[in-house]
Structure 1
């Protein structure tokens, strides 16, 4: 099953992350794909807020993986696989896929070698923005098209996500 949503602003992207978080448990993997600035970390921040992680979710670009503990429940592990050259290097991070909720940015072509099931979230960002007035200032509108696809039996029904779009 595939769901396609239009996300109009960062707040909506964070709300989508929260909606996804509602369906996650230990052992779940979320694969985020999208160019720089598409909203991958914003979505993960919303997901982390909804899960009640300690601390602020930030991009793990320079540390590769960041574990965000929770008072109760599986920790959130946020991975940036951009600088990894293969699945072996991702495996070398020794992530606890079974006892954590793992979100992997830039992991397409890598995660498939380590797990059998995942929720794939692809964020497409427009190449040009349309300006709109906000008060006296003009800010760009850059809606994102988000495609969510479940891979494996765990994700065969995504009906619980239909209410997440704007």
Structure 2
């Protein structure tokens, strides 16, 4: 399975990467974001949303757990989930009923590792790491054929 790894030198580079990736996503896609606090998960989601063309503003849904951002055009909506407060409880994630909208939306789940993988056999797993110089390392692992081909088109 091909993996994509890049160093994003600045917030602008992170935004460019997210915008490019967002423009490639389609209804039914699941993206799991991993990384420490402050690694840039919500910032990346914001730029993915811009690439998708959905209504904002995109803020962390930590206290509401999930927000839906409808498309401003004919594309899919974005369901943005922050599973941090669920503390790895897959049953609590299941209570959000994400599978009801999964086929019609792009679903991005922050902190979903270990509990969201069962939502779809195909997904993108993205890890962000903050580096000492304030840049970010992004590691994208595709799971499934669709995402293997998608990763091959990401800017290098």
TM-score by structure 2 length?
Answer: 0.91
Q: Provide the C-alpha distance between the structure 2 equivalents of 1:142 and 1:42, rounded to a whole number of angstroms.
A: 14
Q: CA deviation at 1:153?
A: 2.0
RMSD of aligned alpha carbons: 1.2
Q: Provide the C-alpha distance between the structure 2 equivalents of 1:79 and 1:53, rounded to a whole number of angstroms.
A: 15
Find the counterpart in structure 2 of residue 55 from structure 1: 56
Q: Provide the C-alpha distance between the structure 2 equivalents of 1:152 and 1:117, rounded to a whole number of angstroms.
A: 5
Measured against aligned partners, the alpha-carbon deviations of 1:42-74 in whole angstroms (never above 9, x if no partner) come to 111111112221121111111100100113221
Find the counterpart in structure 1 of residue 8 from structure 2: 7
Find the counterpart in structure 1 of residue 122 from structure 2: 117
Q: Which of the numbers 80, 85, 97 marks the counterpart of 2:102?
A: 97
Q: Match of 1:17, SS?
A: helix
Q: Provide the C-alpha distance between the structure 1 equivalents of 2:92 and 2:13, rounded to a whole number of angstroms.
A: 33
Q: Provide the C-alpha distance between the structure 1 equivalents of 2:117 and 2:50, rounded to a whole number of angstroms.
A: 27
Structure 2 residue runs of 5 or longer lacking an equivalent are none
Q: Match of 2:59, SS?
A: coil
Q: Match of 1:148, SS?
A: strand
Query: How many equivalent residue pairs?
Result: 150
Q: Which of the numbers 144, 159, 163 marks the counterpart of 2:152?
A: 159
Q: Could you tell me whether the CA contact under 8 Å between 1:14 and 1:44 is conserved in 2?
A: no
Q: Could you tell me whether the CA contact under 8 Å between 1:17 and 1:47 is conserved in 2?
A: yes
Q: Provide the C-alpha distance between the structure 2 equivalents of 1:68 and 1:30, rounded to a whole number of angstroms.
A: 15
Q: CA deviation at 1:149?
A: 0.9
TM-score by structure 1 length?
Answer: 0.86
4+ residue runs of structure 1 moved beyond 4 angstroms?
none
Structure 1 residue runs of 5 or longer lacking an equivalent are 130-140
Q: Could you tell me whether the CA contact under 8 Å between 1:30 and 1:103 is conserved in 2?
A: yes
Q: CA deviation at 1:114?
A: 2.0
Q: Provide the C-alpha distance between the structure 2 equivalents of 1:70 and 1:123, rounded to a whole number of angstroms.
A: 26
Q: Provide the C-alpha distance between the structure 2 equivalents of 1:147 and 1:14, rounded to a whole number of angstroms.
A: 15
Q: Could you tell me whether the CA contact under 8 Å between 1:53 and 1:76 is conserved in 2?
A: yes
Q: Provide the C-alpha distance between the structure 2 equivalents of 1:17 and 1:123, rounded to a whole number of angstroms.
A: 12
